[in-house]
Every structure is written in C-alpha cells, then in structure tokens.
Amino acid sequence: MLRVILFCILFSLFPLSWASSAELVIGLIPEQNVFAQLERYEPLGKYISSRLGMPVRFSMLSRYGNIIESFRKKELNAAFWGSFTGALAIAKEGVEPIARPVWLDDSSTYYGLVFVRKDSGYESFKDLEGKRIAFVDKATTAGYVSPLFLLREQGVDKPPEDYFREVIYTGSHDAAILAVLNGEADVGAAKNTIYTLEANRNKRVEEELKLIGWTQRVPSNALGVSSDFPKAEARRLKEILIGMNDSPEGLKVLESFKAKKFIETTKDDYVPVFEMADKAGIELSTYDYFNK
Amino acid sequence: MRKKIFLAFLSLLLIFVSGSLISSKYIVDATEGLQKLLQMHKIDDMSKALSLSIRTVQTDLFSLRTPVSRDLDTIINNVREMEGLVNKCYSCHHKEWLVKKFNRMSEGIRLYKGALSLYVTSSANTPRMERLGIEATQMGEALMERVEEVSSLASTRFSQVTEESLGRIKNVRLILLGTLALTFLIGVFAAIHITRALMAPLGVFTEGTRKIASGNLGHTVPSEGMTEFKELAEYFNKMSMELKIAHEEQESTNRELNNEINERKQAEEEKNRLMDQLVHARKLEAIGTLSGGIAHEFNNLLQVIQGCADLMDITIDSDSAARKHLSTIITTAHRGGDLTKRLLAFSRKVDGESRVMDLNTKLGQVFVILQQTLPRNIDIELHLSPVPATIAADPSGIEQLLLNMALNAKDAMPDGGRLRLSTRLVEIDECKLDGVPGSADTCILLEIADNGCGMDEETRALIFDPFFTTKEVGAGTGLGLSVTYGLVNAYGGYIECESAPGRGTTFSIFFPQAREDVAERLPRDRQLTFNDVTGGRVLIADDEHGIVESAATVLQSMGYEVVTASTGEEAIEICKKDRIDLIALDLGMPGMGGISCLDAISTLSEPKPKAIITTGYGLDDAGRNDILKKAERILQKPYRLTEFISAVREALLKK
C-alpha cells in the first residue's frame, strides 16, 4: 500500500509529458472563426484518436503566436500551425513537422493575398500609404509576413506602423477580409485558402473586393510535434495521417476536412518561409511576434 | 329472488365497470398530461439551462483579457454547450411559430459566435477590441432576450399543462370517489333489501322447523311469496307430511313390535309354565312309577302274608290262642294293602273302574258328610252348576278326593274359616286340558277354596309329592294330595293350586265333561252275585311261590283241581296239554309276562280256559278295559283268599 502511495506522489510531481499524459493535446491557430475551425478539425481528431488508441483534444489558441508559448510551457504535444508559426516554432522550440494536407485543388501550399475594396480605387501598394491596413497576426505568413515582403518588393522600407495610418490585427484571416469588406480597414492581408472559403460563403467578397498583390507559395498548415514527443509515436502519427486516404473512413474524414490526403512534411519545406521572412526583414530567432 | 340478486350484482358490476372505464380514461389522460408535464418541465429546465449557458458565455466575454478570464477552450466549450442546448430545443418543437423563434435564436447564436470569434482573436488595437467586445456583448444580450422569450412561452405553456394535468387528476379523483360511493350505496341498498326479503321467509321456516322439532309433525308453512321460497315451502310441507307419515308408521310398527314382544313374553311365560308343569309332572310320574313298582312288590309279599293268614284262619281252631295274633296279621296285611293301594292311586294305577257319574251328586253327598264332620267354625259353601256335571270317574275315588281336599282345608283353618265347594261348566279354552280323548267342548271345573293360612311358593311346589307333609309327625301320611293328583290324572283331569301365605288356598280341578257315547261305553254299576263252587280245573300261574301255594291250597280245599305254573310259557304248555277251566294269571311274571300269556291263551281253540288276572301293579282304564276283553276279572293284590275264591267261582259260573 505504501508503495502505491509513493508511486502516486512521484507521478504527480512530474510535469506533463507524453509518456504520462492520458491524451494527445493538439493546438490550433485561429486561422478562421474558432467555432467553424473546431467543427472542421473535430472529425480528424476522432479519427486520429481511434487509430492511436488514446483521446485527442484540440486546444484553440487565441493568437498565432501563442503556439510558441504553449510549446514552451509544454501545454501542447502537437499543433496544426501556419507556415510562419511553424517556422517560428522550428526555429525557437525545435518542434518537428511531420505531415500536411493536400487540398481539394491538389495544392499543399498556400500563398498570401493583399486585397482592397473595388470601390476604393487603390491599385497598388503605393496607393496605400497613410491608409488603414488589417493584418491577421504578426505570427502569420499570409496575414503579416507576405504583405511586408510585398511592401519591401515595392520598395517600401518603412515599418508598417509608419507607412500605414492605422494597423489592426484581426487575429484571423476571415476577420481581416471582413474588416476590409466592412470598411474597418482600407486594405487587408489573408491567405488564399481562407479567402476562397470566404468567397464561397459570402458573395460580397467577389463583388466588393479585389486583389492587388500575392506572394509565392509556402507549405500549408502542417502538423508538428513537440521536441520531446517520442519518435516512434511521431512516426506512428505520421503514418496514420499519410495513410488516411487508403481507407474509406479516412477518406470520409478527409472530405469533411476539405482535403484529399496528408503528405509528409519536413523542415526543408519551410525554406521559402525562412527566405520570405528574411526578405521581409524578420529575424526569426529574435522576432517579437506579439501584436502591438 | 334469484333475479333480484342477479340484478343487484349486475347493476353493481355495471357501475363499477363504467366507473373503472371512465376513471381509466381519465387516468390515461392524466398520465399523458403528466408525461407532457415532465416534457414541459424538461423544456423549462432546458430554457433555464440555455439562459444560464448564455450568461456563462457573457461572463466569459466580460472577463476576457482580465486576470480571472477563462482559457479559450473553456469559452469555446461553453458556447458549444449553449449551441447544443438550442439544437436540442430545436429538434423537439415542430410548431411553425416556435420553429421561427428557434430559427431566430439559431441565427442569433451564429452571429454571436462570429462576434465572439472576432473578439477573442482580436489583438493589438484596443479601441477595435473594445468595439468588438461591445458588439459581441450586445449580440449576447439580444440572444438572451430571444431565449427568455422562448423560455417565457415554455413557462406559460408549462403552467397551462400543469393546470390541465391537475384538473384531470381532480376529475379522476372525483370519478373514483363517486363510483366508490355509488357502488357502496347501491351495495348497502341491495344488501338491506335482499336481507329483508330473506329474513321474513326464513323466520317462517325457522318457526316451522321449531314446531316440527317440538313434535308438531305435519306442520305446514304458507306456500307464497317469491318463487324460490314458494318452492322451498312446498318441499318443506312435503317433508313435514312425510315425517308425520313416517312417524305414524314407526309408531304403528312399534306398537306391533310391542304386541309381538308381549305375545312372545306371554308365550315364553306360558312355555315356562308348561315346562314347569312338565317337569313337575315328570317328577311325579317318576315318583309314581317308583312307588307303583314298590307297591307291586309289596302287594306280592302282602298277598303271601294275606294268603297264609287266610289259610291259617281256616285251619286253626276258633278258640286257639293264635287266632288273636292271626287277626293282627290279617289286619296289618290289610292296612299294608291300603297303603299300597294309595301309592298305586298316586301312580294313576287306580283299582276302581271309571264310569259316568254326576259330580254334583257326589259333591252333595260329601257336603252332608262334611257338615257333620268338620268343626262348626268352618262355614261350608256349596255352589253347584245348574246342569249335571257329568264326568267319567270312579265315584269312590272322587269321594276320596273330595274328603282329602276338605280335610286339608280344615287343617289350613285351625281357627275356622270358609270352605267353598263349587262346580261349573267352562269352555274348553279355559280348561287347561290338552289332548283329552273324546272330550267335549266344555269341561267341568271343580273348585275347593279355603281362606286359611295359605302356602308359600316353595311349599306349593311340593304339595303333590308323596309323603310331603306340613303336618306334625304321625298326623298325616303325606299321601292325601298325591293320591288326589293321581286320581285326577287317572280320570283325564288336571289339577292346579293357587295359594299365597294368609290368602287361603284354591284348588281348581278340571275334568273333561263326559259325553253320552263315552257314558254308554263305560260300565254302569255292576251287581256281583255269589254262588256255590261248581268245581273245575284251575291253573294258577305266578312266579311268587307263596301266593301260588296259598291260592292252590284254598282252591283245593274248596274242591277245585289245581295246576300251577311259574312262567307264562309253562302256563301255555299246560293249557295246550290239558283241559283248563280257568287260569289265574299274574301279570308280572318273568319271561313272556302275563299280558302275552293271556294273548296266547285267548287264541287257543275251544274250549278255552277262562282267565282271572292278578296283579300287584295298578292299571289305567285303557289297560284295564283291554285286559277285561280277554279276562273275566282283575284282582288287585293283595286280595283276600275269599275274594279270590269268589272271583274264581264267579268266573267259572259265567257263561
């Protein structure tokens, strides 16, 4: 009996770790409406849980940058991240990317879009100086890094806070689109996948907005595991995801997830992100990703 | 009655069933109402839970970005819980107006979620974040209003359903109570009515049964009223009548049985009486046979003594001194002969001959003697039958009988009294005589009654026994009543004695009334004649030597030629060889005996010897008559030689 009590005490003293956790906690960044996003990811979580033999819980992060903090605090075992947060996590916390989805249009990448209202008359970034811009988050590729990269390409060296009259961070890509649609901002930045989703859902997007810039492709939101995640389990998780399209059940889940399959992802896939950040003037290892 | 009971139960059943059916319907309705109530209760709970859930989310919203704010996952879960509740409500209701309200609620939630998402993910721009927060809060409040509107509707409906359900339950209670009360009242009414209807006839039947039980068999009850009781009354009356008939039959049978038992008792008593009589008669007969045998032997001895004495009387001188002694011998022998004669009389072997005589005449003669001889303190009454009391008997025997009885009566009345002698004719039924040959339809009853000291039963049973006497020694021989008994029996009569101590004694003697044909057959008084001896050859057959010797001697002295024989066979041989004029034959010889010898002699060819029979036994009338057909005379031993000589002479003179 004494042995059992001692074991329980020692067990409670250890911090949360993979070996001792009773569930797999996967973090989600708020790339769209948090409720809609959760609904979209939940079938995938159930599938992984059934295959892995343990409960899977999604933890919604209020901001992109929170993912780094969460990994650091070991509140997450894994996370579906955006390409920039992925790059940040790889760089800062040494997390390991394992797989990413291939969308229905056979793409496994996305790119950043910059859009304005059609009735604004703005045609290029040069027209946007002194205007109000809606970023998504400083820790997003399409919602922040891409427009900065495009500004640099257009020869604008000023920090955005100086170049634009007002800078807002909507937190999610659809919120950025809504901000421009509603006149809250004059220009907005978002990833093409969410823009397409919103355009399909809300006809005002096609009717009232126009694109004035887009960047090169970067890997779409991928699943990465924490640095202390067991390798064997990481491989198993990767195999589950990559083998999803081989079973009818997996295909059904993929369909609701709006993807065709999962493919392997490595750190090398994030090279374009690193390059884009570099060109955008962002030093990842010291980057302050908190919106201010 | 059966119909009434059936109707009462049927009405009870109908009321109960209808009450049950109505109650069941109300119970089912009430149950459904309760189910609805429960559902409404759930709806009410859900609406309250929804309100609470929205409040929670609003609280999350207010506390967001404060030190006590919940994490985003909790906030999202709360919102989704809220949405789940709405979806649950939405799935239950189908009324159009409600569906519209739920649609509005769903739309509100969708907008609220969008605003919430914008707010929770916004950052960096404080005014914007505040604006988004206010928008989300307002949407939350708007949603809240919609929810409360629906909740209010649900509560109202809930109250309505509750009231309806309570109303139904109240109705069920009323109907159940009403049914029970009605059933109870009808049951009580039916019970009272049926009890009354049953008790009255039952009282009649109880009273009827009590009367029958107290012996009033055949009691009937009125056959009226309800069919069952009418039928029951008919059966009751029938039963009562049958009981009465059966009782009467039983009583009749009992009477018959009692009669039969009495008859049997009487028959048994009569049988016992007859048995007693028979035993007594046999006893007396045995004594008679014994005394007869003794008398015979004594007679032979006395005959020798008598014969020898008679011879001596002839042969000795008249002045001889021995003549005195000889006279004593002859007198004593004569007394001995009297004694044996009495014994023979008791054994019915009387010497005298029966003839038709009038008992009244003899009674009159004896009455005169008694008046002269009995003490004067004894009154003698004589009651004679108006018609002659003719009987067949020896008059001297009857006289002896009457005197014996009178003397006994005198002895029973030492202090005087009344002696009553009577005769009367009685019907044959009263005669107590059986098997009297040639008897008439009537018999003569001779009663000799005294009012003397009487006898006890023990004494009465022994009075006819020879030598039984209550008198002092020497005062009587004890043969008086024995001789009477023998004489009565010899004359075909019957004697009985009725006596009790202090009540006197009555002897009843029944004689068969003698009829004319019998009177004719019986001899009348004979006149004996004595003539001189004519001489003849006489055979004396007797086994007693002394008798033969004395008889031969006297006959020879009288000039008769005498031959002797000691057995019947010898006598027959003599008769066959020589001429014999007369044979004096003793009946009690050894060998073939006197009777067979007489029969053989009577069959001899002429000239047959005449016969005189001598006997020491007594002979009844039948035997005597039979012998007298073949013999001239019967001489009862002991006889005097003179008597013998005259008998021989008389027989030889007879043609």
Residue B429 pLDDT: 67
Q: Which H helix or E strand runs over B383?
A: strand B378-383
Within 13 Å, how many C-alpha atoms sit on residue A208's CB side?
16
Which of B44-58, B85-99, B303-317, B497-511 is predicted with the least confidence, judged by mean pLDDT?
B85-99
Within 13 Å, how many C-alpha atoms sit on residue B341's CB side?
16
Residue A7 C-alpha, separation from nearest chain B C-alpha, in angstroms: 31
In a shared domain, residues B359 and B411: yes
Q: Is B523 helix (H, G, I), strand (E, B) or coil?
A: coil
C-alpha B423/C-alpha A42 separation (Å) is 160
C-alpha B101/C-alpha B97 separation (Å) is 6
For B76, the closest of A60, A171, A172 (CB atoms) is A60
Distance set, CA B221 to CA A275, B204, B213, B247 (Å): 134, 7, 14, 19
Read off the tokens for A201.
Answer: 């859902």
Range B63-87 average pLDDT: 79
Using pLDDT thresholds of 50, 70 and 90, give the confidence band for residue B472: low
In a shared domain, residues B545 and B450: no
In a shared domain, residues B45 and B124: yes
Examine the pLDDT at B284 and tell me if it is beyond 80: no
Range B173-185 average pLDDT: 83
Range A230-259 average pLDDT: 90
Examine the pLDDT at A9 and tell me if it is beyond 70: no
In a shared domain, residues B487 and B562: no
Give the total number of structural domains in chain B.
3
Q: Which of B121, B130, B132 to mutate to test the interface with A (most CBs of A within 10 A)?
A: B121
Using pLDDT thresholds of 50, 70 and 90, give the confidence band for residue B419: very high
In a shared domain, residues B29 and B119: yes
Q: Is residue B413 part of a domain?
A: yes
DSSP B123: B
Burial class (CB in 10 A: 0-12, 13-18, 19+), A177: buried
Q: Is residue B627 part of a domain?
A: yes
Range B59-76 average pLDDT: 78
In a shared domain, residues B510 and B548: no
Q: Is residue B108 part of a domain?
A: yes
In a shared domain, residues B613 and B516: no
Threshold 0.80, pTM exceeds: no
**pLDDT tens for residues B473-520?**
556 667 788 888 888 888 888 888 999 998 899 999 988 888 655 544
Using pLDDT thresholds of 50, 70 and 90, give the confidence band for residue A16: very low
CB proximity list for B118: less than 8 A, separation 6 or greater: A170, A171, A172, A175, A178, B132, B135, B136
Check the CA dihedral B551-B552-B558-B563 and report its sign.
positive
Strands (E), chain A: 24-28, 56-60, 78-81, 96-103, 109-110, 112-117, 132-135, 166-169, 187-191, 209-214, 218-219, 222-225, 259-264
Enumerate the residues of chain B whose CB falls inside 8 A of the CB of residue A170: 118, 121-122
For A172, the closest of B73, B76, B121 (CB atoms) is B121
Higher pLDDT, B172 or A252: A252
- Please state the separation of Cα B173 from the chain's center in Å: 77
Region at B148 (left for phi over 0; alpha for psi -120 to 50; beta for the rest): alpha
**pLDDT tens for residues A129-170?**
899 999 988 888 888 888 888 888 888 888 888 889 999 888
Higher pLDDT, B529 or B260: B260
Which of B86-95, B101-110, B251-260 is predicted with the least confidence, judged by mean pLDDT?
B86-95
User: Domain of B497: which CATH number?
Assistant: 3.30.565.10
What's the CATH architecture for A112-215?
3-Layer(aba) Sandwich (3.40)
Examine the pLDDT at B639 and tell me if it is beyond 80: yes
Q: Is residue B49 part of a domain?
A: yes
The answer to whether B346 and B325 are in contact (CB under 8 A) is no
Which of A14-28, B33-47, B588-602 is predicted with the least confidence, judged by mean pLDDT?
A14-28
In a shared domain, residues B105 and B153: yes
Residue A277 C-alpha, separation from nearest chain B C-alpha, in angstroms: 21
**pLDDT tens for residues B599-612?**
888 888 777 888 89
Examine the pLDDT at B351 and tell me if it is beyond 70: no
Residue A83 C-alpha, separation from nearest chain B C-alpha, in angstroms: 18
CB contact under 8 A, B124 and A184: no
The answer to whether B346 and B483 are in contact (CB under 8 A) is yes
Enumerate the residues of chain B whose CB falls inside 8 A of the CB of residue A178: 118
Residue B527 pLDDT: 34
Read off the tokens for B416.
Answer: 């005087």
Radius of gyration from C-alpha coordinates of chain A: 20
Examine the pLDDT at A117 and tell me if it is beyond 90: yes
CB contact under 8 A, A178 and B118: yes
Peptide bond into A43 cis (omega under 30): no
Residue B116 pLDDT: 84
CB contact under 8 A, A62 and B120: yes
Using pLDDT thresholds of 50, 70 and 90, give the confidence band for residue B347: low
Residue of B nearest to A62 (CA): B121
Residues paired with residue B417 on neighbouring β-strands, in sequence order = B378
Read off the tokens for A113.
Answer: 């879009």
Q: Mean pLDDT of all residues in chain B? A: 81
Which of A21-30, A69-78, B79-88 is predicted with the least confidence, judged by mean pLDDT?
B79-88
**pLDDT tens for residues B113-129?**
888 888 888 776 777 78
Examine the pLDDT at B435 and tell me if it is beyond 60: no
In a shared domain, residues B395 and B542: no
CB contact under 8 A, A62 and B114: no
Work out whether strand B355-358 and strand B390-393 pair parallel, antiparallel, or are unpaired.
antiparallel
Residue B74 C-alpha, separation from nearest chain A C-alpha, in angstroms: 9
Phi, psi of B407 (to 5 degrees): -70, -40
Type of residue found at A266: T
CB contact under 8 A, B117 and A137: no
Phi, psi of A193 (to 5 degrees): -65, -45
- Please state the separation of Cα A155 from the chain's center in Å: 28
Residue B55 C-alpha, separation from nearest chain A C-alpha, in angstroms: 18
Question: Same topology for domains A10-108+219-269+277-286 and A112-215, yes or no?
Answer: yes
Q: Is residue B205 part of a domain?
A: no
Domain ranges of chain A: 10-108+219-269+277-286, 112-215
User: Domain of B178: which CATH number?
Assistant: 1.20.120
Residue B84 pLDDT: 82
What's the CATH architecture for A10-108+219-269+277-286?
3-Layer(aba) Sandwich (3.40)
Phi, psi of A88 (to 5 degrees): -60, -45
The answer to whether B584 and B344 are in contact (CB under 8 A) is no
CB contact under 8 A, B120 and A171: yes
- Among the residues of B316-394, which ranges form H helices? 322-346, 359-373
Q: Is B539 helix (H, G, I), strand (E, B) or coil?
A: strand
Residue B433 pLDDT: 60
Range B619-632 average pLDDT: 81
Residue B199 pLDDT: 84
Range A263-284 average pLDDT: 84
Q: Pick from B245, B243, B223: which is nearest to B233 by CA?
A: B223
C-alpha B566/C-alpha B574 separation (Å) is 11
In a shared domain, residues B493 and B554: no
Q: Pick from A179, A130, A135: which is nearest to A156 by CA?
A: A130
Residues paired with residue A112 on neighbouring β-strands, in sequence order = A191
Examine the pLDDT at A8 and tell me if it is beyond 60: no
Residue A18 pLDDT: 46
Type of residue found at B151: S
Residues paired with residue B443 on neighbouring β-strands, in sequence order = B426, B512
In a shared domain, residues B366 and B454: yes
Residue B522 pLDDT: 46
Examine the pLDDT at A51 and tell me if it is beyond 80: yes
C-alpha B5/C-alpha B189 separation (Å) is 12
Residue A49 pLDDT: 92
The answer to whether A167 and A133 are in contact (CB under 8 A) is yes
The answer to whether B434 and B395 are in contact (CB under 8 A) is no
Type of residue found at B379: D
Q: Is residue B216 part of a domain?
A: no
C-alpha B65/C-alpha B68 separation (Å) is 8
Residue of A nearest to B124 (CA): A292
Range B549-575 average pLDDT: 85
Phi, psi of B454 (to 5 degrees): 75, 180
ipTM of this predicted structure: 0.74
Q: Is residue B266 part of a domain?
A: no
Q: Pick from B157, B180, B170: which is nearest to B26 by CA?
A: B170
* Contact with chain A for residue B69, Cβ under 8 A: no
Residue of B nearest to A169 (CA): B123
Using pLDDT thresholds of 50, 70 and 90, give the confidence band for residue A20: very low
Share of chain B above pLDDT 90, in %: 6
Range of the domain at B561: 537-653
Burial class (CB in 10 A: 0-12, 13-18, 19+), B1: middle
Read off the tokens for B138.
Answer: 């307002």
Q: Mean pLDDT of all residues in chain A? A: 84
In a shared domain, residues B405 and B455: yes
For A168, the closest of B79, B116, B124 (CB atoms) is B124
Read off the tokens for B419.
Answer: 């002696």
For B121, the closest of A59, A62, A184 (CB atoms) is A62
Q: Pick from B70, B68, B107, B69: which is nearest to B86 by CA?
A: B107
Higher pLDDT, A27 or B24: A27
